[in-house]
Amino acid sequence: MIRFDRATKRYPNGREALGAASFEISAGEMVFLTGRSGAGKSTILKLIALLERPTRGLVLVNGHNTSSLPARKIPAFRREIGVVFQDHRLLPERSLFDNVALPLYAAHAPLREIDKRARAALDQVGLLDRAASLPMELSVGEQQRVGIARAVVSKPKLIIADEPTGNLDPGLSLEIMDLFRRFNDVGATVVVATHDLDIVKASGLREIVVANGRVRDPGAEPELPHMEAHR
C-alpha cells in the first residue's frame, strides 16, 4: 500500500526534514507515526498525500510512484486517500453535510449517492442529527469527528491523520482512535501521526518512530520489543 525507499525531503529553505527514510505499510494495516516535534512526521504524511514530492528516493502509494505522477492525475490520486488534520480544516460557511460531501462533489458523484454516502458518514461519527449545523456550532471533538467523516465519505482505501487528537482531552482522544480502528476493521489502511504515546502503547498497534528525519522501522528491526504486539 505504502512504500518509502530511501525517500529524502529537503524543503526549499534547505532544511532536510526527512533523510533516506525506508519503510513499508501493507494494505489493511493501522500504523502510528511517532516522534518529537519537528521529527518529520507531517513531512511523511505530506509525501503520502502528494502535497510534496520526495527530493530523492521513492514514495509509492496505492501503486503510484508519486515522483512521476503527472499533475493532471493528482486529483484522482488524492480521491483514494482520506486526510484528517489536527485543525480539521472544515469550511466555516458550509453545513456539516456540505463539508462531509465535498469529496463526493469533487469526484462528480451522482446527487443521490452524495446524499446517501454523506449521511452514512455523518451517522458513523454520530452526528447525523446535526447535518444542517455549521462547524462553529460544534465542540472541538465533534468538529474532529466531522473531519473524519469527510475523510472516509468516499470509502478511501487509505486514511491518513496528522495529530487528530492533538486538541482533545484523553477521553475524546480514545473515542477518535476508536473511530479509526473501526474504519481499519472494515479494511481501510490507516496511518496516524501522534504525540500521544499512551494511546499508541494502549492500542498495541505498530509504531513507526521518526527521529530527526530518520525512520526507525520496526519492520526492519525485528528485535524491537513492541513487534510482538504488532504481528
Ligand X SMILES: Nc1ncnc2c1ncn2[C@@H]1O[C@H](COP(=O)(O)OP(=O)(O)OP(=O)(O)O)[C@@H](O)[C@H]1O
Residues at the interface with ligand X (CB under 6 A): 11, 13, 15, 17, 35, 37-43
Give the start-end residues of each E strand in 163-217.
Answer: 189-193, 206-211, 214-216
The reply on whether position 103 binds other proteins by CB under 8 A is yes
- For 16, phi and psi rounded to 5 degrees? -90, 105
Q: Helix (H) and strand (E) counts for the chain?
A: 8, 10
- For 108, phi and psi rounded to 5 degrees? 55, 40
Among residues 2, 35, 42, 127, which is the contact residue for Mg ion, using CB under 5 A? 42
Residue (43 or 203) nearer to other proteins, CB:
43
Shortest Cβ distance from residue 43 to other proteins (Å)? 9
- Out of other proteins, ligand X, Mg ion, none, which partner does residue 79 contact, by CB within 5 to 8 A per kind? other proteins
Report the C-alpha gap between 231 and 229 in whole angstroms: 6
The reply on whether position 194 binds Mg ion by CB under 5 A is no
- Residue 104 near residue 97, CB atoms below 8 Å: no
The reply on whether position 86 binds Mg ion by CB under 5 A is no
- Out of ligand X, other proteins, Mg ion, none, which partner does residue 107 contact, by CB within 5 to 8 A per kind? other proteins
Q: Could you identify the residue written with the cell 479494511? A: 187
Residues 54-93 that bind other proteins (CB under 8 A): 72, 75-79, 83, 85, 89, 91, 93
Report the C-alpha gap between 197 and 25 in whole angstroms: 20
Shortest Cβ distance from residue 79 to other proteins (Å)? 3
- Residue 35 near residue 9, CB atoms below 8 Å: no
Residues that bind other proteins (CB under 8 A): 42, 45-46, 49, 51, 72, 75-79, 83, 85, 89, 91, 93, 102-103, 105-108, 110-111, 150, 154, 162
